[in-house]
Structure 1
Amino acid sequence: MNNMNNISNMINSTISRVSCSVATCNYNQNGQYCSAPSIQIKAHNAQSAEETDCATFEPKH
């Protein structure tokens, strides 16, 4: 269980440092960071980074 806590702590500390340049996303903070409580990345048979999507995207209103 200790190992799971370590992994969870590592994930939680990393998520706060996710950079994002998608200015039209509601979770974009100051044009630099993702402020979503969690993120979900989807790939559609991706062969490169350009072929991946952030499924957490929510348009700004």
Structure 2
Amino acid sequence: MNTQKMQQPNEAIKCYVNHCHYYMNGDHCSATQIEVQNKHAKSSQETDCATFTPTQQA
């Protein structure tokens, strides 16, 4: 997946991980798209945002 960072937040995606490259103030994600993994998850705790990129790796 080739994700780009937008200049404005993607209002449809909430994010609370402020050390992610795509995090924007107001708890929004600026990624054009995200990938959530673990197709066998039975709760939100079992899911994973595969788009997460630590800010220092951006």
TM-score, structure 2 length as denominator? 0.70
- Bigger relative contact order, structure 1 or 2 (CA pairs below 8 A, ≥6 apart): 2
Task: Number of aligned residue pairs: give it.
Answer: 47
The aligned residue for residue 17 of structure 1 is: 12
% identity of equivalent residues: 43
1:44 CA drift (Å) = 5.5
Question: For the residues of structure 1 that align with 2:54 and 2:34, how far apart are their CA atoms?
Answer: 15
Cα-Cα RMSD: 1.5
Query: Counterparts of 1:1-61 in structure 2 under 5 Å?
Result: 16-43=11-38, 45-61=40-56
Instruction: Give the number of the structure whose alpha-carbon radius of gyration is greater.
Output: 1
Higher strand content, 1 or 2: 2
Structure 1 consecutive aligned stretches of length 4 or more whose deviation exceeds 2 Å: none
Structure 1, unaligned runs of 5 or more: 1-14
